[in-house]
Amino acid sequence: MIEEETARGDFALGVLEYALGARRLQTGRVEEARALLHSSVRLLDEEHGRYYASALGALGALLASCGECADAVEKLWEAQRILIRYAIGDPLVEVTTTLAAALVRIERFDEAERAVHESLDALQRLGHARGAGRMFKTLAEIYLERNDVARAENAARVTLEHAETLRDDVLRAEGQILLGRTAARRRDREAAEQALSRAREIARRLDDRKLEGLACLYWAEACYAVSPMQAQELIARAQELLRPLSDPRIEQEIERVAQRATSERIKLTPDNKLIFDGNFLPNWYVARETLERFLLKNALRQAEGNLTKAGELLGITKVHVHNLRRQFNL
């Protein structure tokens, strides 16, 4: 009887510490969360079911966020196995997504793909369509990391099919972002911008700053080679939206895209100057587009949006100003 009461007490305390640890993690109190989640895992070990797996998943997510991916993977694998065994859908989706990301970060791509397929099979058996859609999204991300563009595009399209069936706008935006990224890898700028523009529109409608920021970021990556000024504007918007999230992985992506964009041979400085080096000439078409955009933007600013006055400043017609404004989306 005493042992039974002790076990019940341990279970209740373990669940409480799991909840507290998860909350501490959400609020950025990482070391407190770490201690609580370690204790929770120990207390819930005997239960070895949903709550134990959830505590393991939260601890794994914490370790992954701290860059301790090898340790995170061990915890997350165990959590995934338990959740598959007991057919618990929603936590399985979250754990698998985190597990795949951790495996990708340490370049264990085959294992990441295997983990997602195992969960996908389980979720499909459960009839968990939303979870299956998220697994295809995760597969697309893995394939992009492997630069397997064809499979990434296929997985992105399946993600969108699930989103349409479920009428899930978040998944729809995520699928469009992935589709845009694959198009950019194929150097199909028009298709990339179309998909990323759609993603941005959906994100704005949802008031989802993270999704809008990611759409802007990858749109910038898609267009920087031919529209460097537009790319800089998109990067600035992405930074505004994403920096408050304090997500190390997103910070790395911002830095990567920004470095690519600023490596161009013609640049617009923060103080509104256009700079290029005569000994390091930019591409003709890139330079022309950049200069036209620069002139039009500043003419419209000086003319306070009046198309006729802007045209007079530039020596072109109002119709020409109107057409350029539409072309550059100003």
- Per-residue pLDDT at 269: 66
Q: What are the residue ranges of CATH 1.10.10 in the chain? A: 271-330
Over the stretch 166-192, which tens digit does the pLDDT of each residue have?
A: 999 999 999 999 999 999 988 888 999
Place of tokens 């620069």: 294
Closest CA relative to residue 112, chosen from 160, 64, 158, 157:
64
Tens-of-pLDDT digits for all 330 residues of the chain?
Answer: 445 545 566 888 999 999 999 999 888 899 999 999 999 999 998 888 899 999 999 999 999 989 899 999 999 999 999 999 999 999 999 999 999 999 999 999 999 999 999 999 999 999 999 999 999 999 999 999 988 999 999 999 999 999 999 999 999 999 999 999 999 988 888 999 999 999 999 999 999 999 999 999 999 999 877 777 788 889 999 999 999 988 888 998 998 888 777 666 676 666 777 777 676 677 676 677 778 888 988 999 999 999 999 999 999 998 888 888 877 767
Q: Which string of DSSP letters, residue by residue, matches 256-300?
A: HHHHHHHTSSEEE-TTS-EEEBTTBPPPHHHHHHHHHHHHHHHHH
Would you tell me how many other CB atoms lie within 10 Å of the CB of residue 285?
10
- Per-residue pLDDT at 297: 87
d(CA 99, CA 95): 6
Three-state DSSP state, 67: coil
**Tokens linked to 224:** 């920087």
- Per-residue pLDDT at 263: 62
Over the stretch 252-282, which tens digit does the pLDDT of each residue have?
A: 899 888 877 766 667 666 677 777 767 667 7
- Per-residue pLDDT at 8: 66
d(CA 185, CA 241): 24
Q: What are the residue ranges of CATH 1.25.40.10 in the chain? A: 1-127, 147-244+251-264
Q: Please state which CATH class domain 271-330 belongs to.
A: mainly alpha
The per-residue b/e assignment along 236-275, b for 16 or more CB within 10 angstroms, e otherwise, is ebbbebbeeeeeeebeebbeebbeebeebebbbeeeeebe
- Per-residue pLDDT at 120: 97
Backbone φ/ψ region at 273: left (φ over 0), alpha (ψ -120 to 50), beta:
beta
- Per-residue pLDDT at 242: 95
CATH of domain 1-127: 1.25.40.10
Topology (CATH) of 147-244+251-264:
1.25.40
Contacts of 213 (CB under 8 A, 6+ apart): 237, 238, 239, 240, 241, 242, 250
Contacts of 228 (CB under 8 A, 6+ apart): 261, 264, 266, 267, 268, 286, 290
Cβ–Cβ under 8 Å, residues 307 and 322: yes
- Per-residue pLDDT at 1: 46
